Each structure stands twice: as C-alpha cells, then as structure tokens.
Amino acid sequence: MTLVNDLRKNIDETVRFIRTKTSAAPMIGIILGTGLGALAKEIVHDVVIDYAEIPHFPVSTVESHHGKLIFGTLSGKPVVAMQGRFHYYEGYTLKRITFPVRVMKFLGVKTLLISNAAGALNQAFGRGDIMVMSDHINLLGDNPLIGRNDETLGPRFPDMSEPYSRKLITVAEQIARELQIKVKKGVYVAMQGPNLETRSEYRFLRTIGADAVGMSTVPEVIVAIHMGMSVFGVSIITDECFPDTLKPITLEEVIAVANTAEPKMTAILKEMVRRL
Ligand code: HPA
C-alpha cells in the first residue's frame, strides 16, 4: 500500500473480487458505527461478504463490530453497507481504514452515509441525542491522503469547505421534522483513542469549537471527499463529556445508549435513502 500504483491496483483487485460475487451497482454507501448495526437489519440482503474474504480489507478487531459488507436494498434503493468499521487505535494505517470507501466509489457509490457513537461536549446535548454532523476537526495527527497523490483517484489538495453536503443536511432536518424526531447539529472532532479523554482535553475540545468527540468517521469522510462523493454524517450521543460533572463510562454503556437511540437514526436514514 505504500506505492500510489499499489493503491489503485489493490482497489481494482478488490472490485474484481466483489464482481465475482455480485453485479450490484449501488449509488449509496453506508458505514455503521459502534452499537449501530441494526440499520443493517432493515436492508433487504442480496449478497453478504465477510471482510475476511475480501482482498486488501482489514479485519475488525473490536468485538462489537461485525465485519460484513452487505449488498441489498434499503427503501427500495440499491445500497452497499459496511457493518463494522476500522479505527486508527486498532493499529491500521488511515490508508487501510479508508480503503473500503475507495472500493465503494469504484462500485458506483456517489453518496456516503456515515454514522458513529460520540460523546457530547456541547452542554445543550444529552445522552441519546442524534447529532447531524455539520463539520469536523481532524485531531488524529495523521491523514489518509499523506504520500504521493494518485490523480486518477482525486486531487492533491481536496477542498474541505463543505465536507458534509448542505443539501443532505437540509433533507435530513426536513425528515426529522416530519417524523417529529429532535436532532441537534454540530461539529465532530476525531481523537486517536483508545482511551477516553481527560477533563482538560474535553475543555480544550469544547474551546476549539467541537460539539461532539469520537474516534472515527473523519478519515473515511476525507477520502470520500477526495473521490468527489457527497457525504452525510450522523452521531449518536452516547455519553456526556462535561469536564465539571464527568463520570466514568464503559463501552457497555456506550453500546447500550447507541442501541436505544438507534431507531431514531435508522428512521431518518431510511427515509433519506428513499428520497435520494
Ligand atoms: N470520547 C468520549 N466519549 C465518547 C467517545 C470518545 O471518543 N466515543 C463515544 N463516546
């Protein structure tokens, strides 16, 4: 994966492998985050491929993440969904983490819907809230686009003035109103993890303009924008990262809250797909 040409060669190999399993041409790609796998149940499955079978795909090491690439239909539209994603803290390079997004693009995906579990920094947010991502801050200390750029994939200096499509945000907000689901909107900051942050770090993250904090999403979005895709991102707020009242949290609690709030997110995403 170090040579530019290897990246393109690997994408082509992976696409060729997937083409031996399905001729599906989904225009919508979906990445499901921690505790948010249930949307996958709403997809009418056509072909499911284990990540372990797919050439050049990393294999997820976190037990709460199933590693499956699902082809099927959601609200009658062809989609491809990643059930289970990869994190920087697992030890993969950002190039590997984002490889599936590149493959999605070559399968025909134009719009990427991406979800995650995140902690609230904005005190107007609370556990169980849904936050539409309006922007992000990359504090991973790394970037999936570092290294020689392959112009056949995207530009050297991709623009980031609107990583999250304003059009898609408007559609989501309209749907949320219609379904009477309250949604927040805000800026997501990506940290390396795997530890949660200190009170002082939460204070810092709030000061620099972040509303929610997590350990994912930003690398995939950078690569999706590099390849010219439209992106919609949504966070489920699983815990409150307020420095003055901070309490310890566990992964089990994060997953439990994500599971409880998930139906709201699923309803919005299903309807978005229908209208895309
Ligand atoms: N930090 C704090 N709380 C969280 C995170 C995180 O990265 N992800 C989900 N809840």
Across the range 24-30, mean pLDDT stands at 96
Across the range 96-100, mean pLDDT stands at 96
Q: Contacts by 148-153 with C-beta closer than 8 Å and gap 24+? A: 148/3, 148/4, 149/4, 150/4, 150/5, 150/7, 150/8, 152/8, 153/7, 153/8, 153/102, 153/226, 153/227
Q: Determine the longest span between alpha carbons in the chain, in angstroms.
A: 55
Instruction: Answer whether residue 215 shows pLDDT above 80.
Output: yes
Q: Is there an atom of ligand 1 within 6 Å of 90 CB? A: no
Can the peptide bond before residue 194 be classed as cis, meaning omega within 30 degrees of 0? yes
Give the distance (Å) from ligand 1 centre to CA of residue 73: 31
Q: Identify which of 10, 81, 97, 12 has the alpha carbon closest to the alpha carbon of residue 47.
A: 81
SS3 186: strand
Cα–Cα–Cα angle for 93, 94, 99, rounded to 5 degrees: 105
Specify the pLDDT at position 85: 86
Specify the pLDDT at position 36: 75
Tokens 């309490």 belong to which residue? 247
pLDDT tens, residue by residue, 224-262: 999 999 999 999 999 999 999 999 998 888 889 999 999
pLDDT band (50, 70, 90) for residue 175: very high
Contacts of 170 (CB under 8 A, 6+ apart): none
Instruction: Answer whether residue 37 shows pLDDT above 90.
Output: no
Specify the pLDDT at position 62: 58
- For ligand 1, atom 9, the nearest C-alpha belongs to 118
- For ligand 1, atom 6, the nearest C-alpha belongs to 214
Domains assigned to the chain: 3-275 (3.40.50.1580)
On the CB side of 224, CA atoms within 13 Å amount to 28
Specify the pLDDT at position 66: 64
Give the distance (Å) from ligand 1 centre to CA of residue 128: 13
Report the alpha-carbon distance of residue 91 to residue 177 in Å, rounded.
40
Q: Is there an atom of ligand 1 within 6 Å of 221 CB? A: no
Which segment of 30-44, 57-71, 94-108, 171-185 scores lowest on mean pLDDT? Answer: 57-71
pLDDT tens, residue by residue, 58-84: 876 655 556 899 999 999 999 999 988
Give the distance (Å) from ligand 1 centre to CA of residue 213: 5
